[in-house]
A and B are shown apart, each in its own frame.
Chain A
Amino acid sequence: MWRITDKEQREFSGGKEDWAVVARIAENCREFKVDDEDEMVADEPISCYNCRFRRWTSDSFICCK
C-alpha cells in the first residue's frame, strides 16, 4: 500500500484514483485532517486525497504524517 521513497517518505502505491482505498485508510487514521475546501478532490469527505497532510507527487501522494 505504501512505498518508501529515496527521501524516506511514505508514498501511496495506489496512485491518484484509488478512491475507496484512501477513504478506508483515512477512516482509520488518527492524523487525518481535512484540507481547505478548494484542495479537496475526493467525493468522500474523509479521504487521504482530501487530507491536509498529503503532498501530491507526479503519480500519487506522500503522507507527511
Chain B
Amino acid sequence: MRILVSIDDTDTMKMDGVEVRGTGELAGLIIKAIEKQGWGRCAPITRHQLLIHPDIAYTSHNSAMCFAADINKSFLKPLIDFASDFLARESAPDADPGLCVAVTERISRPGWLIGFGYMAKNIVLTKEKAYDLAQRLDIHLSEHGGTGQGVIGALAGAGLRLGGNDGRFKGKLKIKAENDMITAGEICSQGKVDMVKCLEEGIVLQDDDVVRLGDHIKPVWLYGKSVLLVYPLKEEVTNRACWQTYSKSQLRDF
C-alpha cells in the first residue's frame, strides 16, 4: 500500500551552541529507519510552505515535510508506532510536533485533504479542524509534545503532497554533466527528475534541448511529478545552452 508520512513543528529556533535537527532531517531519519527495517521503499521528501501569520506559533518558516512510501499493510502500525516514538524522542524540547500517516487508497475524499492543505497556506486553522478531518478520512494524526499544533501542518503537508502541485524537494540534486551543460533527456535519464519545464514559456523541454545547470539544482513537485524548472537564456550568453535552471530566489515561491 502507498502511504504519505508528513511531519511538522519538530524544531525550535537554533541558538548558539545548541544544534537542533530540522524537520527535514528528522523526516530523512524516519525514511532511513523504514528502509533499514525492510518495511518498504520511500520516495524523496517534499517541503511545503504554510501560512506565515502572527497567530501561528511556527519556529522560523512554518513548513511541513512529507514523503510517500510503499509498504506492506502489516507494517503500517509498527511504522506509526516507530514514527510517533521517534518524534516524541527526537523533536526539540520546546517543539509542538505532529505526525500524519495517510493510506492514499483509503482516502474517500482526496479533495477534502488537498483543500485542507491549501487552506493551511492561506488561513489560520485549528487543531480541532485537523483532527475532525483526519477522523472523517481515516487518517492517522497524532501529536507528540508541546501544544501539538504541528498536527495542522502535518495534515496539510499530506494534502499538499497528495495534490501534486505544491512544494520543493528537500536537498540539492547532483546531476553529472560536463561543463554544467546537459540535455533535458540526460537529466531525466538520471532518475530523479521526471520533466524539465519552462513555466514562462509554458513548455516541456525536448530530450535534446540543452540546459545549463546552476549551483542549486532542486526539483519542485508539480503535476504529481518531480519537475526541474528552467528559464530561457538570451542567445548571446551561450551558443549552446538555451535554458538555465532556477536559482534559490526563483524557487522561493514553491
Residues of A within 8 A of B (CB): 19, 33, 35-43, 52-58, 64
Contacts and interface: CB of A to CB of B under 8 A. Distances in A.
Given A53-B13, A64-B13, A38 B53 contact: no
Contacts of A35: 60
Task: Provide the main secondary structure of the chain B interface.
Answer: loop
Task: Provide the main secondary structure of the chain A interface.
Answer: loop
A43 B249 CA distance: 6
Nearest to A53: B13
A56 B24 contact: no
A10 to B, nearest CB: 14
B248 A39 contact: no
Interface residues of B, number: 24
B60 A38 contact: no
B22 interface: yes
A50 B22 CA distance: 15
A37 B52 contact: no
Contacts of B168: 38
Which 9 pairs show the lowest CB-CB distances between chains A and B? A41-B252, A55-B60, A36-B22, A43-B247, A52-B14, A43-B249, A56-B52, A38-B24, A38-B170
Contacts of B172: 37
Contact of B249 (A36, A42, A52, A55): A42
Nearest to B215: A43
Nearest to B251: A41
Interface in B139-198: 168, 170-172
Given A52-B14, A53-B13, A58-B52, A39 B60 contact: yes
A38 to B, nearest CB: 5
A40 B52 CA distance: 16
B54 interface: yes
B249 A41 contact: yes
A37 B60 contact: no
A54 to B, nearest CB: 7
9 contacts: A37-B171, A38-B22, A42-B248, A42-B249, A43-B249, A52-B14, A53-B14, A55-B13, A56-B52
B13 A19 contact: no
Contacts of A55: 13, 59-61
